[in-house]
Amino acid sequence: MADILSLETVEVQAHVSSKEEAITRAGERLVRAGCVEKDYVKGMLARELTMSTFIGNGVSIPHGEFGDLQLVNRTGISVLQVPEGVEWEEGNIAYLVVGIAAVGDEHIKVLQNLAEVVEDESIAEMLAHTTDAQVIVDHLNKPVEEEE
């Protein structure tokens, strides 16, 4: 199975003026990759109105609502990197906007790697400012270390 995050779904050095624009751009990457239908992006925006997807340390994870699952063609993750940040909610700035469209639990590995980014400020900083999309892809697709 191919990785669910690829260079096709990552955009570095993005400039956005609002979280709505950031969500839309992250969603459009999923649409272009064939992961979701266009209306899934509307679901991502609607979800944000009911519950913030900001998870900390400069990372947000916009995704559709439960009713949008029929709009998901295949699991995919997109990353919109915004080096100067975008205000997500008062006091919280997002530098990595990680769009999620999931069928089953195929996205769990990427989310586990993303949890490390949220916990480790130095990794978050590095991913927020790299100019190489491959660095983001490699970091989020790396095998998850098994706990003993």
Please name which of 70, 86, 74, 64 lies closest in space to residue 6, comparing C-alpha atoms. Answer: 74
> Which residue intervals of 1-142 are DSSP H helices?
19-32, 39-50, 108-119, 121-129, 133-141
What DSSP designation does 119 have?
Answer: H
Catalytic residue selected from 15, 63, 107, 139: 63
Catalytic, 107? Answer no
Q: At 126, which helix (H) or strand (E)?
A: helix 121-129
**Residues listed for the chain:** 148
| Active centre residues (catalytic) | 63
